[in-house]
DNA sequence: CTTGAACCTCTAGTCGCTAGAGCATTTAGG
DNA sequence: CCTAAATGCTCTAGCGACTAGAGGTTCAAG
């Protein structure tokens, strides 16, 4: 049986975050000690590691909740798990595409200024005037 | 003099967002009509467009606040503006780098599964077991 | 048995809005 | 001039995923 601190250390998830996950129903409320402190069975470590890893990959808690439910019934077909992961991959790609546009625009804006004062600064002007932009955003 | 709705239409910033910006001190409280409605001078359009554009580029409101303050004193040197934009560019690049790692990992995970059921599903297993990953994240 | 670290609950704050309730005002048509 | 619709007002709460802090209790080592 692990204390919440030991579980935190074992999984890399912070103590308040574990309590938050419990409150959100992602992990079951564990048994308590006589003094009302949480005591986790070793299996809790795996579930929490799963959550942590999925979070590291950027999955929202709602998607993780679905994946956890799926993983509890191993005989279910796993197309749903693929759908969730695939949808997330799509979102990640969309975010990358958008950020690359921003990167290009910021690069252009910041490199085009050789002024000394704010009055002539290209950065300030480019922000004030959208028509100076290369692409839509 | 523009109503808040007209200002919203002219800048593409939604009405509640304009009020929010006022509350946050990014735009000055405008004069009011007899019936207590906001009435904006044409100059407000430019300031709001500036904010909108900077937001589109992903700058946080705090950075925008600084840039707005800078732009009010045109004789100031503009190195600060460059610093702000440059820092943001750095953050954008960092986010891109991180997302690309996630993309690669998700790609690997989702393409490596040819199972039918959750019990054998590579997606589920890869999430449960970090050691199956290629890189750190 | 004492002490200090770890634990408990609860509330509020982060960011940048967005939604909704319950009213008041403005504006265009008749 | 009157009415109805559109627009405006303030205030509060909610989103996601935590994080911080207050104020108190329990545990484990020495």
Q: Compute the mean pLDDT over every residue in chain A, rounded to the nearest whole number.
A: 89
- pLDDT tens-digit readout, B70-99: 888 888 888 888 988 888 899 889 889 888
Residue ranges of the domains in chain B? 4-60, 80-132
- pLDDT tens-digit readout, A98-126: 889 888 888 888 888 888 888 888 889 88
- Per residue, the 3-state secondary structure of chain A, as one string, reads CECHHHHHHHHCCCHHHHHHHHHCCCCCCCEECCCCCEEECCHHHHHHHHHHHHHHCCCCHHHHHHHHHHHCCCCCECHHHHHHHHHHHHHHHHHHHHHHHHHHHHHHHHHCCCCCEHHHCHHHHHHHCHHHCCCCC
Which B residues between 30 and 69 have a beta carbon under 7 A from any strand D atom? 36-38
Flag if A82 and B110 touch (Cβ within 8 Å): yes
Select the residue from A60, A87, A102, A104 to test the B interface by mutation, using most B Cβ atoms within 10 A. Answer: A102
Quote the pLDDT of residue B137. Answer: 63
The CATH number of B4-60 is: 1.10.1660.10
Question: Which residues on A lie below 8 Å from B118 (Cβ)?
Answer: 70-71, 73-78, 81
Prediction ipTM score: 0.78
Flag if A78 and B53 touch (Cβ within 8 Å): no
- pLDDT tens-digit readout, B15-74: 999 999 999 999 999 999 999 999 999 999 999 999 999 998 888 998 899 889 888 888
Q: Compute the mean pLDDT over every residue in chain B, rounded to the nearest whole number.
A: 89
Question: Which residues on B lie below 8 Å from A89 (Cβ)?
Answer: 103, 106-107, 110
The architecture (CATH level 2) of A4-58 comes to: Orthogonal Bundle (1.10)
Quote the pLDDT of residue B131. Answer: 75
């Amino acid at each position: 049986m692990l204390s919440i601190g030991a579980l935190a250390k074992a999984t890399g998830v912070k103590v308040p975050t574990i309590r938050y996950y419990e409150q959100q129903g992602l992990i079951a409320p564990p048994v308590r000690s006589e003094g009302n402190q949480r005591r986790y069975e070793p299996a809790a470590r795996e579930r929490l590691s799963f959550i942590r890893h999925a979070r590291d990959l950027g999955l929202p808690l709602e998607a993780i909740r679905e994946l956890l439910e799926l993983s509890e019934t191993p005989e279910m077909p796993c197309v749903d798990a693929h759908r969730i992961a695939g949808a997330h991959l799509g979102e990640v790609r969309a975010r990358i595409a958008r950020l690359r546009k921003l990167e290009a625009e910021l690069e252009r804006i910041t490199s085009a200024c050789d002024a000394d004062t704010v009055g002539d600064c290209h950065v300030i002007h480019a922000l004030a005037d959208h028509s100076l932009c290369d692409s839509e955003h």
